Each structure stands twice: as structure tokens, then as C-alpha cells.
């Protein structure tokens, strides 16, 4: 629930992650200011949230009045200046260091002194993002997992200058959102993707080299390792372009060949086969007949 110091959450980016964070924050009782530079993106996000809340009401997961209350807490922001009223800001735009750095520089000038600026980045350096601001001690990573309303984990990432108070405030916020926070240090991929992406990459190599079919590889990991989803299906869900980007960050950040992206992954991204969001990846999301 909101506290005396944290009542309004600003969210920049109304895509899949941003709208999920907005929904969770509104359901937890926070006022939410949601902005996206793409025209119509916020309206689309609000419709998506409304549909999701309606389905929860139909299933009996939430009461009708809870849906109405959450909707009332969501406010579209026409520009970044609206974030001046926020007590805490979460950035959830494209995974691009230059774009994020520019946004953090702008937010630093818009937001009140003392307001924490958090990034939902899954792999980029929090320390480098913080260097774009005049408040590096107040910059932190807050890596939510997709889909945000379902997955309980939030990976909190401390940059080189992130203060202990910023870490504790962010941890408290994550708990208020109903999430379990885990602290990671600012190394490429943090904890989650440093462990996950090499597994996905190795599964792609196994497919590429003909060790097994896509179904066999995914079945081994689901039934043998008790994973809820096989690594190839998971890569499709994450987005193959996102997987490739994170692996490239790991490869360049550590200089270790074990993070080298599989050539098959590069080829599929070049072909526009990005997974669920493009309708085709290792699986075809119409007939599921593509792949090897």
C-alpha cells in the first residue's frame, strides 16, 4: 500500500512491461501516471489493462469494485512533465542504452529532488544510466518479470553509486506491489539473465546442431528439469531479438566466448522471426509447424 512518502508512481513506457507495472501499481493502491512518446500507446495500454481486470472480475479473482478503483488510479500523461508529481518513477522503454540514458537525463530535470529513478532494464548498466543524471545515488534497477501481474519476482539492481536508502525504499515498494525483491549487483545480465540466457542459447545451439528437435529439447527441460516452459518456447515468449540483445551485452561485457549468440538465433532475428510478438519463432503461433 502507499506510504506517506510514496503515493504516486510515474511509469514511462506503456508497452507490455510498462502496462503490467501500471496495472500492478494501481491494484496495490498507488496513483499511476503513465506516459509513452508513441501516440495512442497509453490509450492502448489502458484498454489492455481494463480487459485484463474485466477477465479477473469474470473469474472471481477480484471484486468489481476493485476493478473500478484500480481504473480510477490510472492517469494518462501527455508528456514527461507530468512525472513532476511522481514520488517514484519507473522507466520501461526499449532496451537501448542511448535512449534510456537520454530519458534519464530528461527525467532528472523534470522530477523533484529526492525522487528515485528506476529502470526496468533486463541487462543494461545501472551505473551508466545513473551517470546521465545529477542524482546517481537515487538511480536503481527494478527488473520486473513478464507477465508482470503474474510473476512474483522483482530483481533490484544497485549501481556503483546507488545508496542504501534507495535500495531499501525500492525493496519496500516492491513488497507493497506484492512482489518478492531480490538484490543483484550491477554486472551484465544481473542474476536472472546471466543464468537464463546461456541456457536458452545452449538450447538453440542444440537445435542448430541437430542434437534434438525443438519439442524434444523443450520436453527434456519441462519434464526432466521441472521447468514450467521449455527454453525454446520461453525464448519465443521473451522475444528472440531481446534474447539476442542480452546475449550480445553479456558477450561484450564479460568478453567470454561462452556467451556468444548462436548463429541460428542471429539468422532468425534477421528474418524477422522474433517469437510470439511476430507470430513466428521456434514455433508458429498459428499452426506451430515452423522450426526444426
Strand, coil or helix: 266? helix
Strand, coil or helix: 118? strand
Give the active site residue among 91, 119, 120, 143: 143
Give the active site residue among 119, 122, 123, 245: 122
Q: CA–CA separation, 235 vs 242, rounded Å?
A: 9
Q: Residue 155 catalytic?
A: yes
Dihedral pair phi/psi, residue 74, rounded to 5°: -95, 120
* The pairing of beta strand 139-144 with beta strand 153-158: antiparallel
Q: Residue 122 catalytic?
A: yes
Using alpha carbons, select from 146, 127, 144, 133 the residue that is nearest to residue 185. 127
Question: Are 157 and 166 within 8 A, CB to CB?
Answer: no
Q: Residue 143 catalytic?
A: yes
Give the active site residue among 31, 91, 155, 245: 155
Q: Residue 227 catalytic?
A: no
Dihedral of the alpha carbons of 176, 142, 22, 111, in degrees to the nearest 10:
100
The DSSP-derived string for 22-89 is: HHHHHHTT-EEEEE-SSTTHHHHHHHHHHHHHHHHHHHTSS-HHHHHHHHHTEEE-SSGGGGGG-SEE
| Beta-sheet strand order (sheet of 74-76) | 74-76, 31-35, 8-12, 88-91, 116-119, 139-144, 153-158, 180-185
CA angle 247, 250, 254 (to 5 degrees): 150
Q: Is 228 exposed, middle or buried (0-12, 13-18, 19+ CB in 10 A)?
A: exposed
* The pairing of beta strand 31-35 with beta strand 74-76: parallel
Residues taking part in catalysis: 122, 143, 155, 193
Amino acid at each position: 500500500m502507499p506510504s506517506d512518502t510514496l503515493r504516486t508512481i510515474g511509469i514511462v513506457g506503456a508497452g507490455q512491461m510498462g502496462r503490467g507495472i501500471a496495472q500492478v501499481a494501481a491494484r496495490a493502491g498507488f496513483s499511476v501516471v503513465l506516459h509513452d512518446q508513441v501516440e495512442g500507446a497509453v490509450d492502448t495500454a489502458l484498454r489492455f489493462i481494463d480487459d485484463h481486470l474485466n477477465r479477473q472480475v469474470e473469474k472471481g479473482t477480484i471484486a468489481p469494485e476493485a476493478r473500478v478503483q484500480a481504473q480510477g488510479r490510472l492517469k494518462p500523461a501527455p508528456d514527461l512533465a507530468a512525472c513532476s508529481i511522481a514520488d517514484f518513477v519507473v522507466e520501461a522503454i526499449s532496451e537501448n542504452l542511448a535512449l534510456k540514458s537520454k530519458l534519464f537525463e530528461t527525467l532528472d530535470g523534470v522530477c523533484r529532488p529526492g525522487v528515485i529513478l528506476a529502470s526496468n532494464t533486463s541487462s543494461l548498466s545501472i551505473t551508466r544510466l545513473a551517470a546521465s543524471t545529477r542524482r546517481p545515488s537515487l538511480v536503481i534497477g527494478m527488473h520486473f518479470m513478464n507477465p508482470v501481474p503474474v510473476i512474483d519476482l522483482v530483481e533490484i539492481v544497485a549501481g556503483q553509486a546507488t545508496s542504501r536508502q534507495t535500495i531499501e525504499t525500492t525493496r519496500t515498494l516492491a513488497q507493497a506491489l506484492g512482489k518478492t525483491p531480490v538484490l543483484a549487483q550491477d554486472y551484465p545480465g544481473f542474476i536472472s539473465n546471466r543464468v537464463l540466457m546461456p541456457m536458452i542459447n545452449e538450447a538453440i545451439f542444440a537445435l542448430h546442431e541437430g542434437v534434438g528437435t525443438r519439442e524434444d529439447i523443450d520436453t527434456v527441460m519441462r519434464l526432466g528439469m521441472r521447468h514450467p516452459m521449455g527454453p525454446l518456447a520461453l525464448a519465443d515468449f521473451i522475444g528472440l531479438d531481446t534474447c539476442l540483445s542480452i546475449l550480445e551485452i553479456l558477450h561484450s561485457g564479460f568478453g567470454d566466448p561462452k556467451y556468444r549468440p548462436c548463429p541460428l538465433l542471429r539468422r532468425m532475428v534477421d528474418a524477422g522471426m522474433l517469437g510470439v510478438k511476430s507470430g513466428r519463432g521456434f514455433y508458429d503461433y498459428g499452426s506451430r509447424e515452423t522450426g526444426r
